[in-house]
Amino acid sequence: MSDAAVDQGRRTWIAITCGAGAVGGAAVAVPFVSTFAPSERARAAGAPVEVDISKLAPGDRVTVEWRGKPVWILRRTPEQIEQLKSLDGQLADPNSERTAYPIPEYAKNTGRSIKPEFLVVIGICTHLGCSPGGVAKGSGNASVPADWPGGFLCPCHGSTFDLAGRVYKNKPAPDNLEVPPHMYLSDTVLLIGEDKKA
């Protein structure tokens, strides 16, 4: 009878020890595994950024941060896409041939984009690094021409860009807005900072 009691005590002690070991192992594993996720510092240094674009309506723009820079994602309307084709004569570099900011192969087109509907550019003026703002068609803004088709205006020195981020002629900005590396993970998720599948 005493052998059975000792055996039961050992079993209980082993079960408690194993349970405590499992809880302790989990307590150590969770913080360890979380270290594999990129930190805020790593993201700021250039880790890719995923963006859900499913709720972006035609004509809307969202700004996200990548490498400490604002990246604009604009969902263009069919009218805006069509209008881009008629602006070449007004632009300083309509085909993005200047090499100060190398453009990815998939953005060497009129819309400077993988999908014509979506523009992805770094929202920093190529003149002195100011941040332009959007100016809608027919906005009545005195800093743009009366027949302004819509685009971006840098308020610091008056550089203007079309809805593909291409700079207009005779403006202080020497180059088009930069296109960052990016790719689509799905129809609704965009990855900025990596373009392996582009």
Active site residues: 157
Burial string for 96-127 (b: 16+ CB within 10 Å, else e) reads beeeebebbebbeebbbbbebbbbbbbbbbbb
Q: How far apart are CA 130 and CA 195, in angstroms?
A: 26
Please identify which residue in the block is written with the tokens 């941040």.
Answer: 131
How is residue 86 written in tokens? 């008629």
- 3-class DSSP state of 81: helix
14, with CB counted inside 10 A (0-12, 13-18, 19+), is exposed
15, with CB counted inside 10 A (0-12, 13-18, 19+), is exposed
